[in-house]
Every structure is written in structure tokens, then in C-alpha cells.
Structure 1
């Protein structure tokens, strides 16, 4: 086990996204996951049915205790549902984790359509969180909110990726899964230019938690000392493998197989 990743995000009772997906992902890639839970959600594969926010002082306490005792080699943020939560998280990161790589997944809307970020908190996220981030990982709807314009095609994706870099974050992984077509294209934008990652679309409805999973997989790579581009490439390969081997659970958008890297057979014969 190598690399400590602090995940600051919400809980998904269905286990497919949020903290649960983050822990599974980081563990499956050989790193150590720690958490600060920002909200409890009651959800299944069909959607979010309830949200119970965690008070910001308790979020701060979770983060401070973990960082002061165990430390972190990377941080990943997910659901930060309102302005007080964003302010609390950013204050701790600035004070306790300066220079630690931060992967910011700007979670705004759940797969089933439920809003997970207050509308009035978007500007706070842009102003406070993005300047602290190493990498921003928006999907197209999130990028449209952050950029202020529609992204209907690959040319617009390139324009949006460049615009998002002006918000103070040094790298953006713009995910193109919402565009139609047989190919899924993601763009990794940095000051050095834009690299295109493209792969055939996997025809399945079992894609719940792909954004959380991808961001946490990248954070695990950064925590293990990988270069950003290499961490992104490995994370994409892991997510595709996890989608391809999804177990088919639930009646809606089902979870991935986060244990695709795990071989239980290695434990045979080791029992007492």
C-alpha cells in the first residue's frame, strides 16, 4: 500500500458513488483512503431521495484530525453542497495541506438529476476551491455551469477547457461522456496544451459513480507519485474496466465493479 488520499465528499447509501466509491477506488489502486464526510444522502440506483448536511465545524474537525495525525499525499473533493461547506474545506486545506495535490470534482447534479450543489455556491467554488486545485474534473453539464456557455461538440469542449484554465486551476480534465456518439472523448488541458483521450463507448446503463471513481483514481495516482498525465491515463483505464465488469445491480444507473483489480484467489489456503 502506497499513498495517502483524503477524500472530502458526501456519502452514498447505495454504495455506487460518493465516499463509498472513493474508498473502494483508492483501495483497489493500492493507496490508503481517509475521509471527511460532508453530507449523508439516502439514494439508490434510481436517484437521491434525501440529503442530510454535515455541519461545517464537524467537517473541519474530521479534516484537521486526519491531516494532523495521518497526513495526506493527495486530497480529492467531491460533494461540497453549499457555501459554508466550501469555505470550511478551503480554510483547512490552505492551513493544513498547502502544496498537497488536490483533485477537485465539482459535483453539482446526481446521475438521477438531483441537485447536489446550491446554485448560489457556484461562485464560491470558483473563487475559493479552484485556485487550490491541482486538477479540475468536470463533466459537460458542470463545465457549462462553470464556463457560462453551452458545450454541444468537441470544438466547444476545447474552448471550454481553455476557459476553465483561466479560473486559476493549472489543469482541467473535461469529460465528454455526455456527448452522443460511439466514442467518448476526454480532454486534459494544461498550460502546455490539450491532450485528447478517446475510447469506444461501453453500451451500458451501469455508470453510477463514474465521476467520483475517476477523480479518486487520479488522486490515488498523484498520491503515489505519478505524473498527472500518467495518473489520468491509469484512472481512465481503471474506470473503463470497472464499467465493463459492472455487476448489474439495481433498477436504475447501477454501480461499477470497483474490485476489478482485486483477486480473491490469492487468499485461498491462507485461512486459519
Structure 2
């Protein structure tokens, strides 16, 4: 096990997204996952049924005790729920982990449509979190909100990615899965330019937690000393393999197979 990742995100009781997906992804890629939980959700593959926020002071305490003892080589943020949470998380990062690379997944809406970020918190996200991030990983609806523009095609994705860079993030991985077509294109934008990654679309409803999983997989790579591009490439390959191997659980947007990297033959003698 190599690389320590502190994950600051919400819990998914269904196990497919949120902190549960984050822990599974980081572990599957050979890194160590610690957590600070920002909210509890009553959730399954059909949607989010209720949300209970964790007090900001307790979120900071979770982060503080982990960073003081275990430390972190990368930090990943997911669901931050409201402006007070964003401010608290950013204050704690500034105080205890100012140089640790941050992968920020700007979670706004769950697969089933439930809003996971208060509308008034978007400005706090732009002002505090994005300038702190080594990379942000928005999907197209999130990018439209953050960049303040509609995205209808690849050219729009490029303009949005450049606009998001202008908000202070050092890199943007803009995910193109919401655009129609047989090929999915993601863009990695940095100060050096924009690179596109294409892959055939996997036709399935079992895609719950793909955003959480991808961001945490990137964080694991950064924690292990990989460069950003290499971490993104490995994370994309891992997520695609996990989608292809999805177990088919649930009646809605089902979870991935986060254990796709596990070889049962290697551990058969441990039982």
C-alpha cells in the first residue's frame, strides 16, 4: 500500500457513490484512504431520499485529527453540501495541508436528480475551492454552472474548460459523458494546453458513482507520485473496467465493480 488520500465527501448508504465509492477506488488502486464525512444520505440506486448535514466544526475536526496523525499525500473533495461546509474545508486545508494536491469533484446533483449542493454555495465553490485545486473534475452540467455557459458540443467543452482554468484551478478534467454519441470525449486542460481522450461509450445503466470513483482514482495516483496525465489515464482505464464489470445490483443506476482490480486467485488461500 502506497500513498495516503484524505477524502472529504458525503456518505452513500447504497455504497455505489460518495465516500464508499471513494474508499473502494483508492483501495483498489493500492493507496490508503482516510475520510472526513460531510453529510449522510439515505440513498440507493433509485435516488437520494434524504440528506443530513454534518456540522462544519466536526468536519474540520475529522480533517484535523487525520492530518495531524496519519497525514495525506493527496486530498479529494466530493459533496460539500453548502457554503459553510466549503468555507470550513478550505480553512482547514489552508491551515494544515496548504501544499497537498487537491482533487476537487464539484458534486452538485445526484444521478437521480437530487440536488447535493445548495444553490447559494456555488459562489463559495468558485471563490474558495477551485483556486485551491490541482485539478477539478466536473461533468458537463456542473461545468455549465461553474463556467456560466451552455455546453452543446466539443467546441463548447473547450471554451468551458479554458474558462474554468481562468477561475484558478491548475487543471480541469472536463467529462463529456453527457453529450450524445457513441464516443465519449473527456478534456484535460492545463496551462500547457488542452488534450482530449476518447473512448467508446459503454451502454449501461450501471454508472452510479462514476464521478466519485474517477476523482478518487486520480487522487490515488497523485498520492503515489504519478504525474497528473498518468494519474488521469490510469483512473479512466480503471473506471471503464469497473463499469464493464458492474454487478447489476439495484433497480436504478447501479454501482460499479470497484474490486475489478482484485485477483481472487491471489487471496484464495487466506480464507
* Bin of the TM-score, shorter chain as denominator length: over 0.9
1:268 to partner: Cα distance: 2.2
Alignment of 1:224-263 (within 5 A): 224-263=224-263
Number of positions where the alignment pairs a residue of Structure 1 with one of Structure 2: 271
Q: What 5-or-longer segments of structure 2 have no aligned partner? A: none
CA RMSD of aligned residues (A): 0.5
Say whether 1:94 aligns with 2:85: no
With normalisation by structure 1, the TM-score equals 0.99
**C-alpha separation in 2, matches of 1:119 and 1:267:** 47
The Cα offsets for residues 217-263 of structure 1, whole Å up to 9 and x where unpaired, read as 00000000000000000000000000000000000000000000011
User: Runs ≥4 in structure 1, deviation > 2 angstroms?
Assistant: 268-271
Look up the SS of the partner of 1:110 in the other structure.
Answer: coil
Q: Supply the distance in 2 between the matched residues of 1:251 and 1:18 (Cα, whole angstroms).
A: 19
Report the alpha carbon displacement of residue 131 of structure 1 after superposing the two structures with TM.
Answer: 1.0
Report the counterpart of residue 270 of structure 1 in structure 2.
270
CA deviations over 1:92-113 (Å, ceiling 9, x no partner): 0001001101000000000000
Q: CA deviation at 1:43?
A: 0.5
Task: State whether structure 2 residue 153 is matched by structure 1 residue 153.
Answer: yes
Kindly provide the CA deviation profile for residues 40-70 of structure 1, in whole angstroms up to 9, marking residues without a partner as x: 0000001000000000000000000000000
Deviation at 1:269, TM superposition (A): 2.6
Name the residue aligned to 2:223. Answer: 223
Partner SS, residue 199 of structure 2: strand
Aligned to 1:32: 32
Residue 128 of structure 1 corresponds to 128
Distance 1:55 1:270 in 2: 41
2:82 maps to: 82
How far the C-alpha of 1:266 sits from its partner, in A, is 1.0
Matched, 1:68 2:68: yes
- Report the alpha carbon displacement of residue 267 of structure 1 after superposing the two structures with TM: 1.8
3-state secondary structure, aligned to 1:186: strand
Structure 1 position 270, deviation (Å): 3.5
Distance in structure 2 (CA, Å) of the matches to 1:270 and 1:9: 32
Whole-angstrom distance in 2 between the partners of 1:136 and 1:268: 39
Please name the residue that 2:167 is paired with.
Answer: 167
Residues 111-162 of structure 1: CA distance to partner in whole angstroms, max 9, x if unpaired? 0000000000000010011111100100000000001110010000000000
Which residue of the partner structure matches residue 53 of structure 2? Answer: 53
**Counterparts of 1:131-142 in structure 2 under 5 Å?**
131-142=131-142
The reply to whether residue 201 of structure 1 matches residue 201 of structure 2 is yes
Q: Which runs of 5+ in 1 are unaligned?
A: none
Q: Distance in 2 between matches of 1:45 and 1:9?
A: 18
Give the equivalent residue in structure 2 for 1:23: 23
Q: CA deviation at 1:265?
A: 1.7
SS at match of 1:260: helix
Residue of structure 1 equivalent to 2:176: 176
Deviation at 1:39, TM superposition (A): 0.1
Match of 2:119 in 1: 119
**TM norm structure 2:** 0.99
